[in-house]
Amino acid sequence: MSQAIIFDVEATDKNDAVIIEAASLDVTSLAPFDVGNPWVQRYNPGKPISLGALATHHILDEELVSCPPSTSFKLPAGTKYLIGHNIDFDWVAIGSPEVKRICTLALARSLWPDLDSHTQSALLYFFERDTARDQLRNAHSALADVWICSKIVGKIIEKLHPASLDAFWEMSEKARIPTIMPFGKHKGEAINLVPSDYKQWMLRQDNVSPYLRKALEAK
């Protein structure tokens, strides 16, 4: 039983997403980093798949008719950490369970800020240029994506050397806190240079993410 899994889903759409495929790899060791026990399952979402989603993962509605319902999905018993690229999307799609999330997208942006793209595919080209094209032929199937994510996790661990899964999670939480205003009147400005009256106004809004809120509240 693994406390941490690298996890990915394919879904019906971006908004109000319902899972149609889920995949995972167990993190069997952090130092040295190793994974195992690959798992994948398709689900019947009970609603149509959007054209945009079809164009991404190429999973057709008619292929899912005899699959178990999406509502039957459960995380493996004992899972305490979900690791993934933009893991919040996958976490919300499975009902926002009580687990800690480690976001490889946030960590990659923090560690390699000068890259022009931080998608999984772009990062694989950065790390393994000679073989990336062949590895990406099945990208956007959930199982292929967790294997690709595991490569990214390995490179992040090489840089950060977390002593434990909880230390790794804390590094992810820190990386999630933005340093640049992502939207609004001061979009693109360093948050520490944004006027305090504007920060206070932003903090009174109900649509501010918890990570942006931490950045705005920092002294």
Superfamily of the domain at 4-176: Ribonuclease H-like superfamily/Ribonuclease H (3.30.420.10)
What local confidence, expressed as pLDDT, does residue 139 receive?
A: 75
Find tokens 């022009």 and name the residue: 116
Q: Domain segments of the chain: what residues?
A: 4-176, 179-219
Q: Which of 104-113, 135-144, 200-209 has the lowest mean pLDDT?
A: 135-144
Q: What is the mean pLDDT of residues 127-152?
A: 90
CA 165 to chain CA centroid, nearest Å? 16
The overall average pLDDT reported for the chain is 94
Q: What is the mean pLDDT of residues 120-126?
A: 96
- 28-46 pLDDT per residue, tens: 999 999 999 999 999 999 9
Q: What is the mean pLDDT of residues 79-91?
A: 97
Neighbours of 92 (CB within 10 A): 13
What local confidence, expressed as pLDDT, does residue 212 receive?
A: 92
Give the residue with greater pLDDT, 202 vs 2.
202
What local confidence, expressed as pLDDT, does residue 138 receive?
A: 75
- 167-182 pLDDT per residue, tens: 999 999 999 999 999 8
Q: Which of 107-121, 135-149, 165-179, 192-206 has the lowest mean pLDDT?
A: 135-149
Q: Is residue 1 scored above 60 in pLDDT?
A: no
User: Which residues pair with residue 44 across a beta bridge?
Assistant: 69
Q: Is residue 205 scored above 60 in pLDDT?
A: yes
Find tokens 């054209």 and name the residue: 51
Distance CA 169, CA 105 (A): 13
What local confidence, expressed as pLDDT, does residue 219 receive?
A: 65
- 13-27 pLDDT per residue, tens: 988 899 999 999 999
Distances from the Cα of 142 to the Cα of 23, 73, 109, angstroms: 5, 14, 22
Q: Is residue 140 scored above 90 in pLDDT?
A: no
List strands edge to edge, sheet with 81-84: 33-42, 19-30, 4-11, 81-84, 100-103
Distance CA 123, CA 1 (A): 29
